[in-house]
Amino acid sequence: PLIYGLQITIYVAFWGMILALIIGLFTAILRLSNSMSGRIVARCYLEIIRNTPLLVQVSIFYFVLQPILGINNPMWTGILCLAFFEGSFASEIIRAGIISVERGQWEASKTIGLNQRQTYLTIILPQAVPLMLPPLTGILVNLIKHSAILSFVAVFELTTEARNLIADTFMSFEIWMIVGGIYLLMTISLSTFVGYFERRVRDTR
């Protein structure tokens, strides 16, 4: 049961991170755009998500938005909720990375005739990504840890499977120690891998 729960946790974290990055990038670009309405929408999203508890957001997604959107799988409801929650933090990391690129790079891209999309894809983001990697690792670590809250909406991830196993065996101490060790192993391994990848990227620049 714990191996099955671990697979679900990894699945949730993987897709949650991809969606969080997409949401974060879109929000960061809106905040940096010249559109007043775009900046207002992005700001409202950030204020609402970052200033309400995650448990409340999970409840709203599960009990309100899931029936409205017609989502039949509670796991994907949880993934969307985590993605929107972590995407609000990822957007600030991405925005800071974009701002950190020298202004001269923007001016040079305009000089050679690149439009805004081409500038982001070929000039700005390749320079900003190495700066974003360390804090974005924290987002993925949080996704792995926050996935435990999905046990509230009957998603059978690692924590839910642990609780079910404890109900069957009454071995709460042993099982929670094992689960804690699994979470610790995942987060430390992830941080180590991203640190190695960051050094490789920095060395090739």
Q: Tell me the whole-structure pTM to 2 decimals.
A: 0.85
Measured CA to CA, the distance from residue 151 to residue 157 in angstroms comes to: 7
Mean pLDDT of 20-48: 92
**When comparing pLDDT for 57 and 126, which is higher?**
57
Q: Is the pLDDT of residue 84 over 90?
A: yes
Measured CA to CA, the distance from residue 22 to residue 129 in angstroms comes to: 14
Q: What's the helix, strand, coil split of the chain in %, to 5? A: 90, 0, 10
Q: Is the pLDDT of residue 205 over 70?
A: no
Q: Is the pLDDT of residue 177 over 90?
A: yes
Q: Is the pLDDT of residue 170 over 70?
A: yes
> How many angstroms separate the most distant Cα atoms in the chain?
69
> Percentage of residues in the chain with pLDDT exceeding 70?
97
